[in-house]
């Protein structure tokens, strides 16, 4: 709508374990390999760490996988996995991630927050 006097605070979610499978990198298909990852949502990126410790690690080279959400597409999928509560993020550079949690409330909390971030970082 635009023209709002106050901008809504951008939603962020800190640190939670999610099951993640990267299925494409820059348009190139990758073998699906579900891994438990420590996920952090900032106002424009999803940061995927190997574990909680990596988030605060000062070791050079210890970098998360950064999913740029500007121009990304997020959608629930029942076709890409037999697991429940799976959603897919496709970045504008053609990388595809599946994210999943056994708990629907956890999965939908992340889905909703990431979708809001996609929307707010895309319509600038």
Using CB under 6 A, pick the residue from 81, 90, 121, 122 that binds ligand I3S: 81
Decide: is 76 part of the binding site for ligand I3S (CB under 6 A).
Answer: no
- Of residues 32, 53, 14, the one with CA closest to residue 98: 32
Point out which span in 54-62, 68-76, 81-89, 111-119 binds ligand I3S (CB under 6 A).
81-89
CB within 8 Å of 15: residues ≥ 6 apart: 38, 39, 40, 52, 55
Decide: is 82 part of the binding site for ligand I3S (CB under 6 A).
Answer: yes
Three-state DSSP state, 16: strand
Given the rule CB under 6 A, which residues bind ligand I3S?
A: 32, 34, 81-83
């Amino acid at each position: 709508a635009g023209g709002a006097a106050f901008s809504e605070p951008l939603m962020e979610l800190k640190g939670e374990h999610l099951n993640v499978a990267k299925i494409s990198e820059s348009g190139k298909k990758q073998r699906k390999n579900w891994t438990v990852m420590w996920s952090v949502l900032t106002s424009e990126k999803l940061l995927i760490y190997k574990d909680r410790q990596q988030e605060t690690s000062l070791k050079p080279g210890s970098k998360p996988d950064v999913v740029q959400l500007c121009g990304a597409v997020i959608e629930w999928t029942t076709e890409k996995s037999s697991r429940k509560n799976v959603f897919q993020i496709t970045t504008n550079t053609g990388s595809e991630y599946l994210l999943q949690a056994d708990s629907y409330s956890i999965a939908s909390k992340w889905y909703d927050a990431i979708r809001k971030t996609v929307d707010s970082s895309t319509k600038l």
